[in-house]
Structure 1
Amino acid sequence: MKVRLNHLSVSPGAMQVMLKLEGFIKTTGLDEKLYELIKIRASQINGCAFCLDMHTRDSRKMGEKEQRIYLLSAWREAPFYTDKERVVLELTEAVTRISEQGVPQDLYERVRAHVDEAEYVAIIMAINTINAWNRIAISTGMFPAEEKNEL
């Protein structure tokens, strides 16, 4: 596989804009582990191998359990997620696939039962940011580096 282009060198300003989005999310107080779950789930939907590799690794470094990472694509059938995580994952799916049905009112209300308006906006920004990263990585041909097995 070959990267199509190095977006960092071609347009450093674009990277700065993306980093400002990440910086904004950090100021919101959004739980970092929840943000990683959002990143992984959106990246699964979008088929972004580069981001999946990065965020599953980051999640492990934060102490996330392997089982929760492995089962994230089947979160509805797995009992390892809190009610808040479940509605945020559902919102992540709805926003990532926004053209299919938008964000239904009942989903909005279920999310709002767990978060205030400010956290709702933080979650929406988090979902939008990882979707933007996914689209950058996929359209520029980014792919994960192969892990070296050390014995």
Structure 2
Amino acid sequence: MIVDIPEDKDPLMYVWGEMVPGIGVAASKFSMAVYEHTTLGLREFEAARLRIAQVNGCLFCQDWRTERDGQKVEETFADAVEGWRTTRDLDERTRLAAEYAERYAVDHHGLDEGFWTRMKAHYTDKEIVELSMCLGSWLAFGRLNHVLGLDAECVLPSHAVAGQSSR
């Protein structure tokens, strides 16, 4: 881990809540809002989230699976997302979510008219904005966690409260 964490502190809670409370707490609220207020379908949401996690290299984010109403994506979903270009396991909306996530993270200047034509054929403007905000959250915070080494130590705040641990 890059930053020193007191032994009696949870690394994620300490970095996000105590080290820079004026920023960290607000960032945490934004991060949680993405999960609590999304209107995107679970498969599109998870395809975009997982592709960002794969690009970022965030260990925890790659292992995490969003659950909604007791449902999660299938075990093979992460592999399908990684192979979004060729897999037959993703519908067009889900494939576009994975593609957008990758391009948002590594080639946002290359998002051309052809891409936006395909996106707008499957997503509303509202969904595009929402997905873009989700991508921004995952890119920034997953990368922060990975760069600082928190991804091997972290527990999401909502899970820490429930007493669950990824360790």
TM-score, normalising length from structure 2? 0.73
1:28 Cα deviation after fit: 4.6
Report runs of 4+ in structure 1 exceeding 6 Å deviation: none
Choose the corresponding residue for 1:38, options 24, 48, 65: 48
5+ residue gaps in structure 2? 5-13, 154-164
5+ residue gaps in structure 1? none
Paired residues, number: 144
Q: Identify the structure with bigger relative contact order (alpha carbons < 8 Å, sequence gap 6+).
A: 1
C-alpha distance after superposition, 1:107-148 (max 9, x if no partner): 111011011111110011111110011221023211335977
Distance 1:13 1:36 in 2: 29
Report the counterpart of residue 119 of structure 2 in structure 1. Answer: 111
Higher helix share: 1
Report the counterpart of residue 71 of structure 2 in structure 1. Answer: 62
Q: Does the C-alpha gap of structure 1 residues 32 and 110 become closer, same or farther in structure 2, counting only changes over 3 Å? A: same
Q: Does the C-alpha gap of structure 1 residues 34 and 59 become closer, same or farther in structure 2, counting only changes over 3 Å? A: farther
Report the counterpart of residue 52 of structure 1 in structure 2. Answer: 62
Distance 1:82 1:131 in 2: 23
> Are the aligned partners of 1:39 and 1:130 in contact in 2 as well (CA < 8 Å)?
yes
Choose the corresponding residue for 2:37, options 23, 27, 42: 27
Q: CA RMSD, aligned part only?
A: 2.6
> Are the aligned partners of 1:92 and 1:127 in contact in 2 as well (CA < 8 Å)?
yes
Distance 1:24 1:39 in 2: 11
- Partner SS state of residue 85, structure 2: helix
C-alpha distance after superposition, 1:60-113 (max 9, x if no partner): 9732111222332112221110111111111111111135x4311111110110
> Are the aligned partners of 1:3 and 1:141 in contact in 2 as well (CA < 8 Å)?
yes
Please tell me the residue identity of whatever aligns with 2:3.
Answer: R
1:48 Cα deviation after fit: 1.4
Distance 2:107 2:36 in 1: 24
Distance 1:108 1:92 in 2: 13
Choose the corresponding residue for 1:87, options 96, 99, 110: 96
